[in-house]
């Protein structure tokens, strides 16, 4: 069957860009998806009133959905129509697949093959070592994500039925929420939000479990599945991700619960069992899901600061979560421990970590902190809000978390666009963005003499 000439031209362009800079292709694809979703939402049919939304609201919502963040300038449940909510759900699903995976799917669909450069970059994004596994990994990612979302929907569907929403409405709410949970998006379409379910284990437990699974990353999920009968053989990346994620969840749950236990505006007025559940949700959602069963704006400043730190770290690499990633934090902490002991190598789980990994971890952390700092300064100059509130919103946007103190909708258009740009940078990945903008790769044949400057 002869391929149409326009498709051949598109294929040639994709292949040419993929050979020269596959990272630029990935970022371009992601930006294109946001543009398409913006146009779809910028239609009168997308709102419940039948009026065309403002371009800023459509663009911000599209960016937040594709970047699986959850920050909103308008109420998702009451402002967007059924058509608009479907567009948002599809955008969340596409965004959750990841930048490199999405670019490779495009290349596979257009050229019916995955090129070497696309395989190399996708292998880097998904932490796959063998290039032959990338095509199978992409299929596994899609199958696993759909299966887990269906499982979440089947668990939530009976709960929505008990609320008297009807079969059709219950099925849609369960489907939308399951997609939002697994992809760590934080969007909800219940008019009252998650607040009425603060003590509802049937509603909150799927959020806790789904958030954790979505935030650890597809490579970890597949690695655990492959070695499910001999878990000791899982990869170092899997061990670091699970161990660090577990520790951070425990720390977040215990400390946030302690800070808010007697705060009458959040946990203090709840029964003990509900306080425990609210603490579990609050400790898990900074991984990047952004769901909250209490008013974040009423939390103590100490809780905000702790949540800032947890959101900045985020979840696992090649996952639906944002942040600098838990393995980045783990590598830097292990380097500090090794340096304090005087060890030459960074060892963990009977494995030695390559020094170049530490350099990459430092670069990712510094770029992330720089983006947060610049965005914070911009918002401070654009508004009269205090630093603690601005910093919380900025880190939430960068980490694609979606937790909010409630200021996003009231920000000026310029400040909302800054947050939208930060969501895009945070989701595409600091190192992906750096690779996309790099003009050339330097290979030095001659190395200069070594000398050690004084540190500290």
Mean predicted confidence (pLDDT) in 39-57:
95
pLDDT (tens digit per residue) in 189-211: 998 889 999 999 999 999 999 99
Whether the pLDDT of residue 274 is over 90: the answer is yes
Q: What phi, psi does 47 have (nearest 5°)?
A: -110, 155
- Judged by DSSP in three states, 429 sits in coil
Structure tokens at 32: 């294109």
Looking at residue 434, what is its pLDDT? 56
User: In this structure, what token pair is assigned to residue 203?
Assistant: 């509603």
pLDDT at 354 over 80: yes
The band of 241, judged by pLDDT with boundaries at 50, 70 and 90, is very high
Which of 396, 253, 399, 391 has its CA nearest to residue 314?
A: 399
Q: CA angle, 20 as apex, 15 and 21 as ends, to 5°?
A: 100
pLDDT category at 97 given cuts 50, 70, 90 is: confident
For residue 436, the Cα-to-chain-centroid distance in whole angstroms is 20
Task: Using the predicted structure, report yes or no on whether residue 127 has a pLDDT greater than 80.
Answer: no
Q: Which of 87, 89, 86, 59 has the alpha carbon at shortest distance from 74?
A: 59
Average pLDDT, the chain: 86
Going by C-alpha positions, the residue among 99, 92, 97, 95 that lies closest to residue 180 is: 92
Mean pLDDT for the stretch of residues 236-252: 94
**Pick from 16-30, 181-195, 202-216, 432-446: least confident:** 432-446
Segment 31-50 shows an average pLDDT of 95
β-pair partners for 348: 351
Which phi and psi angles does 351 have, rounded to 5°? -135, 150
More confident residue, 363 or 300: 300
According to the model, what pLDDT value does residue 320 have?
A: 82
- Residue 14 contacts by C-beta under 8 Å, 6 or more apart in sequence? 25, 106, 107, 110, 111
pLDDT of residue 105: 59
Looking at 42-132, list the stretches that DSSP marks H as alpha helix, in order from N- to C-terminal side. 55-66, 76-79, 82-96, 99-111, 116-126
Backbone angles phi, psi at 190, to 5 degrees: -80, 125
**What's the pLDDT score for residue 428?**
83
- Cα–Cα distance for residue pair 310/304, rounded to 1 Å: 10
Q: How far apart are CA 387 and CA 403, in angstroms?
A: 16
Run of H or E including 385 = none
- Is 415 in contact with 10 (CB distance < 8 Å)? no
Residue, of 446 and 291, whose pLDDT is higher: 291
pLDDT higher than 60, residue 340: yes
- In the chain the first and final C-alpha atoms are separated, in Å, by 67
Per-residue pLDDT at 83 exceeds 90: yes
pLDDT at residue 29, rounded to an integer: 81
Residues 33 and 68: their CA atoms lie apart, in Å, by 13
Asked whether the predicted pLDDT for residue 228 surpasses 60, the reply is yes
Beta bridge partners, 346, equal: 353
Q: Decide if pLDDT at 48 tops 90.
A: yes
Least trusted range by pLDDT, from 45-54, 137-146, 176-185, 418-427: 137-146
pLDDT tens-place string over residues 435-445: 655 544 556 66
What is the structure's pLDDT at 439?
Answer: 44
Residue 104's pLDDT is: 59
C-alpha 160/C-alpha 40 separation (Å) is: 28
Residues contacting residue 103 through CB under 8 Å, at least 6 positions apart: 18, 22, 25, 26, 29, 30, 118, 121, 122
35-39, 121-125, 223-227, range with greatest mean pLDDT: 35-39
**What tens digit of pLDDT does each residue of 133-162 get?**
556 667 777 888 899 999 999 999 999 999
CA distance 327 to 242: 9
For the record, the structure tokens of 219 come out as 């490579």
Confidence band of 345 (pLDDT split at 50, 70, 90): confident
Average pLDDT over residues 110-131: 55
- Integer Cα distance of 398 and 421 in angstroms: 9
- Measured CA to CA, the distance from residue 376 to residue 170 in angstroms comes to 40
pTM: 0.89
């Amino acid at each position: 069957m002869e391929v149409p000439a326009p498709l051949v031209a598109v294929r040639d362009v994709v292949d040419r860009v993929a050979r020269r800079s596959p990272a630029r292709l990935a970022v371009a694809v992601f930006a294109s998806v946001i543009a398409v979703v913006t146009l779809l939402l910028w239609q009168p049919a997308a709102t419940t009133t039948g009026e065309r939304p403002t371009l800023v609201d459509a663009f911000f919502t599209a960016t937040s959905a594709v970047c699986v963040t959850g920050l909103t300038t308008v109420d998702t449940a009451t402002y967007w129509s059924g058509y608009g909510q479907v567009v948002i759900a599809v955008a969340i699903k596409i965004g959750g697949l990841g930048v490199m995976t999405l670019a490779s799917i495009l290349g596979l669909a257009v050229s019916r093959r995955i090129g070497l450069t696309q395989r190399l970059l996708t292998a880097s994004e998904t932490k796959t070592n063998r290039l032959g596994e990338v095509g199978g990994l992409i299929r596994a990612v899609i199958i696993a994500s759909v299966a887990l979302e269906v499982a979440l929907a089947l668990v939530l569907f009976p709960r929505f039925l008990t609320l008297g929403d009807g079969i059709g409405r219950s099925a849609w709410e369960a489907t939308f929420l399951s997609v939002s949970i697994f992809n760590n998006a934080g969007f909800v379409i219940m008019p009252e939000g998650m607040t009425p379910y603060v003590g509802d284990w049937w509603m909150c437990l799927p959020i806790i479990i789904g958030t954790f699974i979505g935030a650890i990353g597809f490579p970890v999920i597949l690695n655990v599945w492959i070695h499910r009968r001999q878990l000791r053989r899982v990869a170092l990346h899997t061990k670091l991700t699970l161990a660090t994620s577990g520790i951070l969840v425990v720390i977040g749950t215990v400390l946030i619960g302690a800070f808010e236990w007697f705060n009458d505006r959040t946990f203090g007025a709840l029964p003990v069992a509900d306080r425990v559940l609210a603490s579990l949700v609050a400790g898990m959602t900074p991984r990047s899901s952004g769901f909250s069963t209490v008013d974040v704006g009423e939390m103590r400043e100490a809780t905000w600061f702790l949540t800032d730190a947890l959101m900045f770290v985020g979840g696992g690499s090649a996952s639906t979560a944002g942040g600098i990633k838990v393995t980045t934090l783990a590598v830097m902490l292990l380097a500090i421990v090794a340096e304090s002991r005087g060890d030459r190598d960074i060892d963990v789980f009977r494995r030695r970590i390559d020094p170049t990994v530490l350099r990459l971890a430092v670069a990712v952390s510094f770029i992330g902190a720089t983006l947060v700092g610049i965005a914070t300064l911009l918002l401070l100059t654009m508004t009269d809000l205090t630093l603690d509130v601005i910093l919380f919103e900025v880190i939430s946007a960068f980490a694609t978390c979606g937790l909010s103190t409630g200021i996003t909708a009231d920000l000026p258009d310029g400040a909302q666009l800054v947050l939208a740009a930060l969501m895009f940078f945070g989701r595409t990945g600091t190192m992906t963005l750096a690779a996309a903008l790099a003009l050339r790769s330097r290979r030095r044949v001659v190395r200069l003499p070594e000398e050690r400057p004084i540190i500290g």
